[in-house]
Chain A
């Protein structure tokens, strides 16, 4: 298999890598404007609070102990490729059965 077959196209892979590379920049900018989504604002309005039950392996797209921006970059790479792998595996499983 060549890169074309695995990733659809070199261009698609490049776009995804650029998005990941931009993630620390967006994280910085979001912090600068006090990023908060409508759901969080609504919660604040009525006084609802989060009660985290589980915070994940890489909480909030950071790597514990690492600089948050480096952590975001690593989290982005790890997350993107695990998602790629999961969606690949899932569709392989669905295609393989009656398909042939």
Chain B
């Protein structure tokens, strides 16, 4: 899902840098001053855990694989604004230190995985929470990443290197990540249910900025 250099046309890359900067900036504005100091270790651990989990590429035979993205886990545990900032930290480190995701595509990658994934996951979770934690966290993990993939499809599909084939890129990305996203949903639900059972204090705290 990390878009490398060379896939995006410059105007698209710039547009998504600007959009991401606006949401990340707004998230800092929303969180700043409202963040309980006791939550600092949680933010660090969620970001670190997502970084480590993203390194594990699931070995799915058949030529199409993926790894966890974790936007829903960040959204549910930290709330949308702090979740967005945690995901942004992960993506910036991946890009600058490991060349994972192109430096010209960082804006688009932040938009897909730290903004779209996190906020879609958050709203789905809030919407479905009354129907049960299993369902809410599963759907939030599954459709959050699918939405991110659709955006990646839009961005590359509007670029010349992909021959403006948005009619191919969006369905391909959406369908594949919609399927692989079921695994993301299962892992998200497992993590959230485990935390709900063992550390309910983390989930029951008021989500910052909500």
Instruction: Give the residues in chain A near B7, CB-CB below 8 Å.
Output: 43, 48, 50
Contact with A along B88-121 (1 / 0, CB 8 A): 0110111111111011100000000000000000
B82 interface contact, C-beta 8 A: yes
Please report which residues of chain A, range 30-60, place their CB below 8 angstroms from some CB of chain B when the two chains form the complex: 30, 32-39, 41-43, 45-60
The answer to whether A42 and B48 touch across the interface, beta carbons within 8 angstroms, is no
| A-B Cβ contacts below 8 A, count | 224
A19 pairs with B53, CB closer than 8 A: yes
A66 located at the interface, meaning its Cβ lies under 8 Å from any Cβ of chain B in the complex: no
Residues of the B chain whose Cβ atoms lie less than 8 Å from the Cβ of A42? 153, 156, 162, 168-169, 172-173
Q: Is A99 in contact with B37, judged by CB distance below 8 angstroms?
A: yes
Contacts of A23 in B (CB 8 A): 52, 55-56
Inter-subunit contact A95/B93 (CB<8 Å): no
Residues of B within 8 A of A57 (CB): 96-98
Q: Hey, what's the 0/1 contact readout for B1-45 against A, CB within 8 Å counting as 1? A: 111111100000000000000000000100111111101111111
Contact, CB under 8 Å: A49 / B59:
no
Report yes or no: A5 in contact with B59, Cβ–Cβ below 8 A.
Answer: no
Size class of the contact patch on chain B: 35 or more
> Given A8-B42, A48-B162, A56-B97, A84–B47 Cβ distance below 8 Å?
yes
- B-facing mask of A60-80, CB < 8 A → 1, else 0? 110000000000100110111
Cβ of A87 and Cβ of B44 under 8 Å apart? yes
B63 proximal to A (CB < 8 A): yes
Q: How far is the CB of B80 from the nearest CB of chain A, in Å?
A: 15
Contact B44 A88 (CB under 8 A): yes
Contacts of B1 in A (CB 8 A): 37-39
Q: In the complex, are the beta carbons of B6 and A95 less than 8 A apart?
A: no
A46: which B residues are within 8 A, CB to CB?
Answer: 162-163, 165, 168-169
Per-residue CB proximity of B67-102 to A under 8 Å, as 1/0?
000000000000000100110011011111111101
Taking Cβ atoms with an 8 Å cutoff, the residues of B that contact A are 1-7, 28, 31-37, 39-49, 51-53, 55-66, 82, 85-86, 89-90, 92-100, 102-104, 149, 152-153, 156, 159, 161-163, 165, 168-169, 172-173, 176-177, 180, 199
